[in-house]
Chains A and B, each alone.
Chain A
Amino acid sequence: AQSVTQLDSQVPVFEEAPVELRCNYSSSVSVYLFWYVQYPNQGLQLLLKYLSGSTLVKGINGFEAEFNKSQTSFHLRKPSVHISDTAEYFCAVTSNYGQNFVFGPGTRLSVLP
Chain B
Amino acid sequence: DTGVSQDPRHKITKRGQNVTFRCDPISEHNRLYWYRQTLGQGPEFLTYFQNEAQLEKSRLLSDRFSAERPKGSFSTLEIQRTEQGDSAMYLCASSLIQDGYTFGSGTRLTVV
A residues in contact (CB < 8 Å) with B? 4, 34, 36, 41-46, 49, 90, 92, 97-106
B residues in contact (CB < 8 Å) with A? 4, 6, 31, 33, 40-45, 48, 56, 58, 91, 93, 95-106, 108
Min CB–CB distance A51 → chain B (angstroms) = 9
Min CB–CB distance A113 → chain B (angstroms) = 25
Contact status B48-A46, CB under 8 Å:
no
| Interchain Cβ contacts under 8 Å between A and B, 10 examples | A42-B105, A42-B106, A44-B101, A49-B100, A97-B98, A98-B99, A100-B56, A100-B58, A105-B40, A106-B42
Give CA–CA (A49, B66) in the complex, Å: 31
Which residues of chain B come closer than 8 Å to A106, judged between CB atoms? 40-42
A46-B100, A46-B101, A49-B100 are known contacts. Are A98 and B95 too (CB-CB below 8 A)? yes
Contact status B105-A103, CB under 8 Å:
no
Contact status B103-A43, CB under 8 Å:
yes
Min CB–CB distance B109 → chain A (angstroms) = 13
Other A-B pairs, 9, CB within 8 Å; known A41-B105, A98-B95: A34-B100, A43-B4, A43-B6, A44-B93, A45-B103, A97-B98, A98-B96, A100-B48, A101-B43
Contact status B41-A105, CB under 8 Å:
yes
A100-B33, A101-B45 are known contacts. Are A44 and B91 too (CB-CB below 8 A)? yes
A43-B103, A43-B104 are known contacts. Are A90 and B42 too (CB-CB below 8 A)? yes
A103-B44, A105-B40, A106-B42 are known contacts. Are A98 and B103 too (CB-CB below 8 A)? no
Which residues of chain B come closer than 8 Å to A97, judged between CB atoms? 98
A100-B33, A105-B41 are known contacts. Are A43 and B106 too (CB-CB below 8 A)? yes
Which residues of chain B come closer than 8 Å to A105, judged between CB atoms? 40-42
Contact status B91-A43, CB under 8 Å:
yes
Nearest-CB residue, chain B, relative to A48: B100
Which residues of chain B come closer than 8 Å to A99, judged between CB atoms? 48, 56
Cβ-closest 9 pairs across A and B: A103-B42, A43-B103, A100-B45, A44-B103, A43-B105, A98-B97, A103-B43, A90-B42, A43-B104
Give CA–CA (A90, B99) in the complex, Å: 18
